[in-house]
Structure 1
């Protein structure tokens, strides 16, 4: 039972990261119709901003939760304004190729200066230790990651589904020209959407930094799984990204407990089955 619960905990933590990252991807795809292959690089940049802030500037973990998304979000503004905005009238393949190239550039730069061995980032003192739940030992920081990810996902869902700004976002995905005719600054809305999406990836990077080593390869090793999560949930589906990310994380943990050899393949197997039965994804809509 302890082994099973431990693996389910690991799966839930992975699922929390899948949910936050796939949610950012879904927001960007829904508004910009761009498959953002640079999302894993933004996740890596968020972790490195936190690590460099602590190492060189003394910025602690709690401040990094705000600083890293802002820094990476500002970078996202520059990318969207000067690069992606030139591709909206072209085939979506060009956006995919551009973001894939950006991911390679960022990864190459950090590999050049920091290598691939990884940097350690300490757990904040307030979240050190753990607690005995009787059936398992729960590290405080891992519990915090799960709670923080759920709060971020719920807040994002509420923003998009229950606020006026979210109504503008959803309207922009349906008919941007009509929305602009009502006086809404659609280009600014698109820029802020991309910045928010990559900012969420950076926040996930800060949350991951004390658990995993801060490495130039940490994004590339995760982004393929996150894309599979988005495809299973439905491209552009907010609720689908959240539920699918958490559910697949738990399923992956359960697989590790009973058949570890299949744990890395189970998500892609499910993706193949979903695409055969429902190509739009579990929560996706027909075009």
Structure 2
């Protein structure tokens, strides 16, 4: 069976890979959008926190024997705690400064985290086994669906849209938005604004840590796994609109599929198609597809 001259198995296989990549793009760009939209910080350390999530899961399994399922809960919490410490110690002093200062600080933190882990574990990569219950796959006729990759797609969608609902449709989300837009007024109502800001940053980096745990069985755990992905994720955020949570989710998934299709029809362009899309969007709509122009 062929579709537009392409074997159906190859086409749907690449679309599956694109959807998996898009799931990681969506989760990582979602965390970036939350942090920028709420705190106005360009978090260059996001890839490092993604990598930390994978490393924490690997360490918990290797040194303590804690399973993948427990790591899905523990690793994001631990990464979030590290994020709170970083935000309270350093980042909070830069909220009123130019965005460039936050970018430089978080980029420096990235280099420190990557350097420490490279010194200890090297860059060759460490394997992380797929849980037994998620091994194997299903032959759908037109393609083979690995169980673990299907799990990644489903849980990514649940986490992404659950986060969007939490921020956009709940009272807690309204408190978070108000705390960043008018902190003095929110403080007057007895709400601890610094704690809200710290928890916002922790939540954003915890999403990156969660994505790292999901990625560990697919990609080898390496100190460079975050830096290889964060530039693409920033492009996704720019295309979706800086600070747009819904835009980050939709654009991440859409660009993953676009990348997969490009690998089928024109493989040479697959590594640049996202940046080409970013250039086109910035020319036609500088605020991004779902972003609002600065006033």
Say whether residues 1:73 and 2:75 are aligned partners: no
Match of 1:133 in 2: 140
Say whether residues 1:168 and 2:155 are aligned partners: no
Instruction: Report Cα offsets for 1:190-230 as digits up to 9, x if no partner.
Output: 00000000000000000000000000000000000000000
Distance of 1:263 and 1:178 partners within structure 2 = 48
Match of 2:99 in 1: 92
SS at match of 1:183: coil
Match of 2:5 in 1: none
Match of 2:40 in 1: 33
SS at match of 2:286: coil
Distance of 2:14 and 2:180 partners within structure 1 = 39
Superposition deviation, residue 88 in structure 1: 1.4
Match of 2:206 in 1: 199
Residue ranges of structure 1 left out of the alignment (5+ in a row): none
SS at match of 2:12: helix
Superposition deviation, residue 161 in structure 1: 1.2
Distance of 1:92 and 1:181 partners within structure 2 = 27
Distance of 1:174 and 1:279 partners within structure 2 = 23
- Runs of at least 4 residues of structure 1 off by over 4 A? none
* Equivalences, count: 287
- The match for 2:241 among 223, 234, 245 is 234
Say whether residues 1:151 and 2:158 are aligned partners: yes
Distance of 1:263 and 1:89 partners within structure 2 = 39
Distance of 1:92 and 1:148 partners within structure 2 = 33
Match of 1:186 in 2: 193
Distance of 1:184 and 1:229 partners within structure 2 = 33
SS at match of 2:145: strand
Superposition deviation, residue 89 in structure 1: 2.0
Match of 1:212 in 2: 219
Match of 1:247 in 2: 254
| 1:268-287 correspondence runs (5 A) | 268-287=275-294
Superposition deviation, residue 183 in structure 1: 2.2
Instruction: Report Cα offsets for 1:17-63 as digits up to 9, x if no partner.
Output: 00000000000001110000000000000000001110110010000
Say whether residues 1:221 and 2:228 are aligned partners: yes
Distance of 1:188 and 1:22 partners within structure 2 = 23
SS at match of 1:131: strand
- The match for 2:265 among 258, 272, 287 is 258
Q: Normalising by structure 1, report the TM-score.
A: 0.99
Superposition deviation, residue 81 in structure 1: 0.3
Q: Normalising by structure 2, report the TM-score.
A: 0.96
Residue ranges of structure 2 left out of the alignment (5+ in a row): 1-7
Distance of 1:135 and 1:183 partners within structure 2 = 58
Match of 1:57 in 2: 64
For the aligned residues, what is the CA RMSD? Answer: 0.8
SS at match of 2:242: coil
Distance of 2:82 and 2:70 partners within structure 1 = 18
